[in-house]
Chain A
Amino acid sequence: MTLVQGTPRAVTVAGFPLPAWAFALRIWVAMVVALYAAFWLQLESAASAAVTVAILALQTRGQVYQKAIYWLLATISGIVASFVIAGLFPQDRVFFLVGFAGWLGVCIYAGGLLDGNRAFGAILPSYTVAQVAVAQIDSPQGIFAAGVNRGAAIVVGIAALALVTELFVAPNLHRGLSGKLSTAQQRVRAFALAILRGAGADPIQSAHLLREITALHPDITALIAESTGERARGAAAASAAVALVAEVGAARSLASLPAGTAPALRRPLAEALAGAPGTETHALQLRLQQHAGSGYGDPHGAIFARHALDLLLENQRAQDAIEDLRAGRYPARDIHAPIYRSHRAAARNGLRAFLAVLISEILLSLAGWPFASEGLALLALIVALSANTPNPRAFPVNAAIAVPIAALLAGVMQFLILDGVDQFPLLAIGIAPVVLVTALLLTVPNPRLVSISFLVLIFFLVIFSPTNPQVYNPETFLFTSCMAIAAVILVFVLLQAVLPTSEALQRRWYLTSARAEMRDLLAGGRSRSLGDAALFRDADRIGQLAALQPAGDDERRDDLHLALDIFACAAAARRARTALADLATSTGGHVAESGYAALAAGDPLDLRRAADDLASAAARLDDDARAAARAASQRLIWAAFLIDANPFGLGRRQSARS
């Protein structure tokens, strides 16, 4: 969570810039308004309203609204699920608890297939069931009232936060996002310029560039929630992100060609990329098109020209889309930016959460402690939050640090600072230091500190649990704190011990799936998307692979190298299929058949032969079809070149054929 870009950074108070203070004040005011409204409406679970504000504590309007919508939907589905689970097992606690653990597993599986606030929305129904149904396990007749109360408190919390966000003019998401996209574009351009000067394409740098672009996906989806007309901005941002990914791909393709290819084209291309006037770019595009269309004597030069043309076009597309994003216009190309999610990893995480909660339930029932159901609800909250975090491995450690701090702060607040008072203004002033400091820390660039502050803020409110009138019962506080700490220790141990997914295993999954999809794409078995949207999905997979903890530097480099080669080969196969489809449309189909067959075989020799056939067939065709045949021929040669450079396990088929 970083500060919104484009805001003045000069003025700082106590080391934090003014926008950070504005954010912290907004959260505190929203929390106070939410608590006041919930007390005034005499809601039983008024603390839920404050917890809602804490959970939705994000810096921009779009993010707040998107998360609020998902939080509301999650609550409604969670309340319905509570009724269903309680109704299915009315007299049977064992099945009830197994049902709850199963529901949690299903929610975490669903969350594993999404990203950002959407994943959060998929996971949170499990927490609602814990709060509504599990907390009422001894009195199931109270589940309906508890559900309605909780739902009402959450609506109050969301309404308060929305009101404060609007009135205090929270920053818009699209400003920061266009800044981030511009920065990414500059970096991609610098990467391409370095390649044109003769530098190699470092796999780690390339993967980090792709990761930087695909990491913007949650923000892009959040844009739509911001306000009227943001659908256009969302489409523009998605279009820019997809163009940037394609630009990285084109630059890497240039780097894969021999270093001395087309020396005459490199300099004008670098100048055009660096920002020469538009007319020269247009002239260069025409020159590249001519070069790509007539280069049978020098196939590498023709392929270079084709990739250089792609690079220029994608750079221009990204630039236009970023300008559309700033202006709030629809982009020229409306494209979807899908993400890659592994069903296998999501299913394993879901199963892990199911087992962890089941074991905790058994341990807590055997221990026979008071407040065990509350402990279970807290445990479900930690497991649910742990599934929706950028770094799931570090989360239990952060929680183990944050929960004792939150318990301590809640104790100090309750028994030293407030100590028996029941006036609302004193409560509002009392919680201010904790809320302001934790909200300020949410704006720092250190992800670990952000995660800990977020948990401290939530658990402070959960343990302190403001009610009207405030209850000052040391026993309740002690049991709740002990349960929270016991729950966090249980989660810490269980998540490490039950079905741990090692980074090496995840790495293997990513590479296996990439390879399998590429083979499928070559064979044309299933109708996979051939557009740039599929390219973005592949880039997202590389981004996730790059985000894993480094094993050894060499091993990591090798893995990323292989993943990027597969990415390039899949892109080449997609382009070849598109070019063959164009050719088939203009000639009637029979000319492209040998190309399709060669792609399905995945054999470089066959591909080159098919490319030669197409080149000789081109002479007999009319102008349009000739251009399509040449393009298809070059795309096939490029695919053959990439498969030659790295056979990706296709070699077995080649040796069997030869």
Chain B
Amino acid sequence: MTHSFPELTIGGVLVAPFVIYAGGAVAIFALLRPFFRLVAVDRAFSNPPIAGLCLYVLILALLIVLF
């Protein structure tokens, strides 16, 4: 089965599907941030930024697989 990707056209300009996924992942990540701050995720990792990056990649991959 072929995976179909969503298409977004702004003023006649076709935007790559990846950009939509990447933007969506940023939005979800931004929504999750207050929650992480609340449960102090920073203290669970020796390098919180890398943990954040991994989480972003996971969300992105999940979006690509699901939609």
Distance (Å) between the CB of B48 and the closest chain A CB?
6
Q: Is A264 at the interface (CB under 8 A from chain B)? A: no
Q: Is A163 at the interface (CB under 8 A from chain B)? A: yes
Are B42 and A229 closer than 8 Å at their CB atoms? yes
Distance (Å) between the CB of B15 and the closest chain A CB?
10
Contact with B along A92-126 (1 / 0, CB 8 A): 00000000000000000000000000000000000
Distance (Å) between the CB of B4 and the closest chain A CB?
22
Are A229 and B52 closer than 8 Å at their CB atoms? no
Distance (Å) between the CB of B53 and the closest chain A CB?
5
Q: Is chain B's binding surface mostly helix, strand, loop or mixed?
A: helix
Q: Which residue in chain A gives the minimum CB-CB distance to B56?
A: A166
Distance (Å) between the CB of A68 and the closest chain B CB?
14
Distance (Å) between the CB of B19 and the closest chain A CB?
9
Q: Is A352 at the interface (CB under 8 A from chain B)? A: no
Q: Which residue in chain B gives the minimum CB-CB distance to A172?
A: B49
Within 8 A of A (CB), among B35-56: 36-37, 41-42, 47-50, 52-53
Q: Which residue in chain A gives the minimum CB-CB distance to B50?
A: A166
Given contacts A166-B53, A167-B53, A229-B42, 14 further A-B contacts (CB under 8 A): A163-B53, A166-B49, A166-B50, A166-B52, A169-B47, A169-B50, A227-B52, A228-B33, A228-B36, A228-B41, A228-B42, A228-B52, A229-B37, A328-B42
Which B residues touch A163, using CB under 8 A?
53
Which A residues touch B33, using CB under 8 A?
228
Distance (Å) between the CB of B45 and the closest chain A CB?
11
Are A61 and B49 closer than 8 Å at their CB atoms? yes
Which A residues touch B42, using CB under 8 A?
227-229, 328
> B13, B47, B48, B50: which contacts A228 (Cβ < 8 A)?
B48
CB contacts between A and B, total, < 8 Å: 25
Complex A-B, nearest 7 residue pairs according to Cβ-Cβ distance, in ascending order = A166-B53, A166-B49, A228-B37, A228-B33, A227-B49, A166-B50, A229-B37
Contact with B along A140-152 (1 / 0, CB 8 A): 0000000010000
Interface core residue of A61, A148, A166, A167 (most chain B CB under 10 Å): A166
Measured in the bound complex, the distance between the Cα atoms of B59 and A576 in whole Å is: 56
Measured in the bound complex, the distance between the Cα atoms of B55 and A166 in whole Å is: 13
Contact with B along A149-191 (1 / 0, CB 8 A): 0000000000000010011010000000000000000000000
Within 8 A of A (CB), among B16-36: 33, 36
Measured in the bound complex, the distance between the Cα atoms of B33 and A61 in whole Å is: 18
Are B48 and A167 closer than 8 Å at their CB atoms? no
Contact with B along A227-238 (1 / 0, CB 8 A): 111000000000
Which B residues touch A166, using CB under 8 A?
49-50, 52-53
What count of chain B residues pass the 8 Å CB interface test?
12
What count of chain A residues pass the 8 Å CB interface test?
10
Distance (Å) between the CB of A460 and the closest chain B CB?
30
Q: List 22 A-B contacts (CB under 8 A).
A: A61-B49, A163-B53, A166-B50, A166-B52, A166-B53, A167-B50, A167-B53, A169-B47, A169-B50, A227-B42, A227-B48, A227-B49, A227-B52, A228-B33, A228-B36, A228-B41, A228-B42, A228-B48, A228-B52, A229-B37, A229-B42, A328-B42
Measured in the bound complex, the distance between the Cα atoms of B54 and A163 in whole Å is: 11
Which B residues touch A169, using CB under 8 A?
47, 50
Q: Which residue in chain B gives the minimum CB-CB distance to A328?
A: B42
Which B residues touch A167, using CB under 8 A?
50, 53
Measured in the bound complex, the distance between the Cα atoms of B48 and A169 in whole Å is: 10
Which A residues touch B13, using CB under 8 A?
148
Q: Which residue in chain A gives the minimum CB-CB distance to B54?
A: A166
Within 8 A of B (CB), among A210-229: 227-229
Measured in the bound complex, the distance between the Cα atoms of B42 and A490 in whole Å is: 52
Measured in the bound complex, the distance between the Cα atoms of B32 and A534 in whole Å is: 37
Distance (Å) between the CB of A580 and the closest chain B CB?
42
Which B residues touch A148, using CB under 8 A?
13
Contact with B along A556-574 (1 / 0, CB 8 A): 0000000000000000000
Measured in the bound complex, the distance between the Cα atoms of B36 and A483 in whole Å is: 52
Within 8 A of B (CB), among A59-91: 61
Which A residues touch B52, using CB under 8 A?
166, 227-228
Distance (Å) between the CB of B12 and the closest chain A CB?
11
Q: Which residue in chain B gives the minimum CB-CB distance to A61?
A: B49
Which B residues touch A61, using CB under 8 A?
49
Q: Which residue in chain B gives the minimum CB-CB distance to A227?
A: B49
Distance (Å) between the CB of A65 and the closest chain B CB?
10
Interface core residue of B41, B48, B49, B53 (most chain A CB under 10 Å): B49
Distance (Å) between the CB of A226 and the closest chain B CB?
8
Which B residues touch A328, using CB under 8 A?
42
Which A residues touch B49, using CB under 8 A?
61, 166, 227
Measured in the bound complex, the distance between the Cα atoms of B40 and A328 in whole Å is: 11
Which A residues touch B48, using CB under 8 A?
227-228
Measured in the bound complex, the distance between the Cα atoms of B63 and A33 in whole Å is: 25
Measured in the bound complex, the distance between the Cα atoms of B37 and A611 in whole Å is: 51
Measured in the bound complex, the distance between the Cα atoms of B47 and A167 in whole Å is: 10
Distance (Å) between the CB of A229 and the closest chain B CB?
6
Measured in the bound complex, the distance between the Cα atoms of B16 and A148 in whole Å is: 13
Measured in the bound complex, the distance between the Cα atoms of B52 and A167 in whole Å is: 11
Within 8 A of B (CB), among A422-473: none
Q: Which residue in chain B gives the minimum CB-CB distance to A65?
A: B49
Distance (Å) between the CB of B14 and the closest chain A CB?
11
Distance (Å) between the CB of B52 and the closest chain A CB?
7
Measured in the bound complex, the distance between the Cα atoms of B13 and A328 in whole Å is: 44
Q: Which residue in chain B gives the minimum CB-CB distance to A163?
A: B53
Within 8 A of B (CB), among A39-69: 61
Distance (Å) between the CB of B51 and the closest chain A CB?
10
Within 8 A of B (CB), among A3-17: none
Distance (Å) between the CB of B46 and the closest chain A CB?
9
